Amino acid sequence: MYKVGSQQQFPHRVTIEKLVTIKNDFSGREKQWNPVFSRIYAKVTNRTGRESNADDQTNNFVSVFVRIRNRKGITPDMRVVHGDRKLNMLAVLPAPDGAYIDLQCEAWTDA
C-alpha cells in the first residue's frame, strides 16, 4: 500500500480553477478562470468516451476521473486543468473514509 500523497498513488499535477467575475479596464465585467488550488498531486484516469450528435454537429467527450487528497471547498462549478486539457467538473465524490475525493469530469476532444 502506498502512502497518501506518494508519487506512485498521485503521479500527475493538476490545477483546480473557479470561474469569477472581475471588473475590466472599461468599467465592464468579464468572467475568467482563477486558480483555487495550483499544481496539486492527483491521479487522472480516462474512463470512457462517447459521441453526441446535437444540432447537426458531432461532439466527442471523454469521461475523466481525477483523484486528489481531501480538500475543503471544491464544488462541481469548478474545473480541473491537466496539462493542456480543461476538464469540466460534473460531480465531487468524497471517499467513505474521507482520505480522498474523486472528481468526475468531462473533456471535449477534437475528433
Q: What digits encode the pLDDT tens for the residues 23-62?
A: 887 778 889 999 999 999 999 998 775 655 555 666 677 8
Region for 60 from its dihedrals, namely left if φ exceeds 0, alpha if ψ lies in -120 to 50, beta otherwise: beta
> What's the pLDDT at 9?
84
Q: How confident is the model at residue 5 (pLDDT cuts 50, 70, 90)?
A: very low
List, for residues 17-31, the tens digit of each pLDDT value.
Answer: 999 998 887 778 889
CB burial of residue 35 (10 Å; 0-12, 13-18, 19+)? exposed
Q: CA 6, 101, 37: angle at the middle one, nearest 5?
A: 75
As given in the structure block, the three cell numbers for residue 13 are 499535477
Q: Report CA torsion sign: 16, 13, 70, 101.
A: positive
Task: Please say if the pLDDT value at position 4 is more than 60.
Answer: no
Task: List, in order of start, the domains of the chain with CATH numbers.
Answer: 12-108 (2.40.10.270)
- Whether the per-residue pLDDT at 2 is higher than 70: the answer is no
Choose between 26 and 12: higher pLDDT: 12
Percent of the chain with pLDDT over 70: 82
User: What is this structure's pTM?
Assistant: 0.78
